[in-house]
């Protein structure tokens, strides 16, 4: 453990939903739910307004609709979210070379390694400046936790939500953790929490009082030792700089089980080509091809084949995935398919096309892969209009899809900088209407491009808090 709270944990607030509200003025202050909208869809993120109705991440979308029937339900725009994430991560890397991303909207930062902080006051100021910079660059808010360990920094950021900052002074960790629920600790999910509750352990203090031997008896050796250490606020894990990706994969879940074998084969081929596009977009190649099949009864099968060397050849990946599919019985129906490549490298062996069955048939040559965004496939015109996605009308300008069906699509015309816009309905094949790229949430004046930003005052509606010193910042 360190002597200063120089580990920072950033967690963007309801990231996907907040990004949608920022880009759509008519949704600001409203309940917004982002996720899969089909019968088997799940909630990816819910805005705080939607959470007030009990909606939360990983909830079945059908249940969310029952709880919040008047919320806006939108399909995720991952390319848009990633572009915002890239801006946020760039701000973090300006603070320190040691940035450990956990997801698009969450990361640890070692402030000491970058010289950005060395004591409580400098750490707090670094957190304040970071939150202000994130708001200035992206228009969004994030919550910051500062502590002497990763575990405590993450707990602090949870306490700071939404749009706040909490700093835990070294030496006060045990007193802070003691009355908290055991579910506060990393790795204690519903099952472990219920098991501990049945043993009479509900708080972190009770966890520590139980002792290491008792926890090992209750939850097993590895988990028991870890739980006891966390209960005593012991966490010496370092912040590890971003690791290289270990695999690249794509998968689709289908609203209706696929029974037709030919359709399954076509879906696997399509997924293989998507996977290769993503692989090439990252400048990578890989040796192991992986096929994932979830069947009608929820049983999940994984098959893999390792090649002689790394490849990014679409024919090789496609043929390997097809061979793997040959060993899987899909007669009962398929609800999910996925294709992935692991064993990644930043080079390709040129002679690997020999591993594709296509060469044995004398096809020869590398197949050209269309330049399309990863995950985007040509779809019938009536399915092009996904709720929440951007469109442009030749006469009315930029807008987003509110909904579609029965040959019609409803669009609200507004931009991040406009007032809430008007709504119009069109035929799905209207020649004046087309899909569009998302607009930036914050426009910078030309003279600001490339110029350093001055630190901005913290504009959070919530006060920053320092835990353990008796002060509030």
- List the catalytic residues: 106
Q: Which two tokens stand for residue 237?
A: 């894990």
**Contact partners, residue 78, CB within 8 Å, separation at least 6:** 375
Beta-bridge partners for 390: 400
Phi, psi (deg, nearest 5) at residue 254:
-105, 140
Is the distance from CB of 434 to CB of 392 less than 8 angstroms?
yes
- Cis-peptide, bond into residue 162, ω within 30° of zero: yes
- What separation in angstroms does the CA of 300 have from each of 309, 326, 329, 343? 27, 16, 12, 22
Mapped to the 3 state alphabet, what secondary structure does the chain carry? CCCCCCEEEEEECCHHHHHHHHHCHHHCCCCEEEECCCCCCEEEEECHHHHCCCCCCCCEHHHHHHHCCCCEEECCCHHHHHHHHHHHHHHHHHHCCCEEEEECCEEEEECCCCCCCCCHHHHHHHHHHHHHHHHHHHCCCEEEEEECCHHHHHHHHHHHCCCCEEEECCCCHHHHHCCCEHHHCCCCCHHHHHHHHHCCCCEHHHHHHHCHHHHHHHHCHHHHHHHHHHHCCCCCCCCCCCCCCCEEEEEEEEEEEECCHHHHHHHHHHHHHHHHHHHHHCCCEEEEEEEEEEECCCCEEEEEEEEEEEECCHHHHHHHHHHHHHCCCCCCCEEEEEEEEEEEECCCCHHHHHHCHHHHCCCCCCCCCCCCCCCCCCCCHHHCCCCCCEEEECCCEEEEEEEEECCEEEEEECCCCCCCCEEEEEECCCCCEEECCCCCCCCCCHHHCCCCCCCCCCCCCCCCEEECCCCEC
């Amino acid at each position: 453990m360190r002597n200063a709270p120089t580990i920072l944990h950033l967690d963007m607030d309801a990231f996907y939903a907040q990004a949608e509200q920022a880009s759509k003025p008519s949704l600001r202050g409203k309940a917004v739910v982002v996720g899969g909208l089909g019968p088997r869809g799940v909630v990816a993120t819910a805005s705080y307004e939607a959470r007030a109705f009990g909606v939360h991440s990983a909830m079945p979308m059908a249940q969310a609709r029952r709880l919040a029937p008047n919320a806006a339900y939108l399909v995720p725009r991952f390319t848009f979210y990633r572009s915002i994430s890239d801006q946020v991560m760039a701000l973090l890397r300006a603070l320190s070379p040691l940035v450990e991303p956990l997801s698009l909207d969450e990361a640890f930062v070692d402030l000491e390694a970058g010289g950005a902080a060395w004591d409580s006051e400098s750490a707090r100021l670094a957190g304040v400046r970071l939150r202000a910079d994130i708001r200035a660059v992206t228009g969004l808010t994030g919550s910051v936790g500062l502590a002497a360990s990763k575990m405590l920094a993450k707990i602090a950021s949870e306490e700071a939500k939404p749009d706040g900052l909490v700093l835990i002074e070294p030496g006060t960790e045990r007193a802070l953790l003691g009355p908290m629920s055991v579910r506060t600790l990393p790795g204690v999910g519903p099952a472990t929490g219920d098991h501990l509750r049945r043993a009479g352990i509900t708080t972190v203090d009770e966890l520590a009082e139980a002792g290491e031997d008792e926890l090992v008896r209750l939850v097993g050796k590895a988990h028991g030792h870890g739980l006891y250490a966390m209960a005593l606020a012991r966490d010496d894990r370092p912040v590890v700089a971003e690791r290289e990706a270990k695999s690249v994969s794509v998968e689709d879940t289908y609203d209706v089980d696929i029974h037709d074998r030919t359709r399954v084969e076509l879906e696997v081929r399509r997924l293989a080509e998507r996977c290769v596009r993503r692989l090439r977009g990252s400048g990578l190649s890989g040796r192991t091809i992986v096929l994932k099949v979830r069947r009608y009864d929820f049983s999940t099968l994984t098959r893999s084949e390792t090649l002689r060397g790394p490849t990014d050849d679409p024919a090789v990946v496609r043929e390997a995935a097809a061979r793997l599919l040959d060993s899987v019985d899909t007669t009962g129906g398929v609800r999910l398919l996925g294709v992935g490549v692991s064993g990644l490298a930043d080079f390709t062996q040129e002679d690997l096309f020999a591993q594709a069955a296509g060469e044995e048939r004398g096809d020869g040559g590398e197949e050209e892969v269309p330049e399309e965004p990863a995950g985007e496939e040509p779809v019938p015109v009536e399915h092009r209009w996904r709720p929440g996605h951007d469109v442009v009308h030749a006469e009315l300008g930029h807008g987003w899809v509110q909904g579609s069906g029965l040959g019609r699509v409803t669009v609200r015309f507004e931009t991040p900088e406009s007032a809430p816009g008007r709504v119009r309905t069109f035929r799905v094949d209207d020649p004046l209407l087309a899909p569009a790229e998302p607009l930036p949430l914050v426009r910078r004046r030309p003279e600001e491009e490339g110029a350093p930003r001055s630190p901005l005052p913290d504009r959070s509606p919530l006060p920053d808090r320092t835990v353990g010193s008796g002060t509030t910042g």
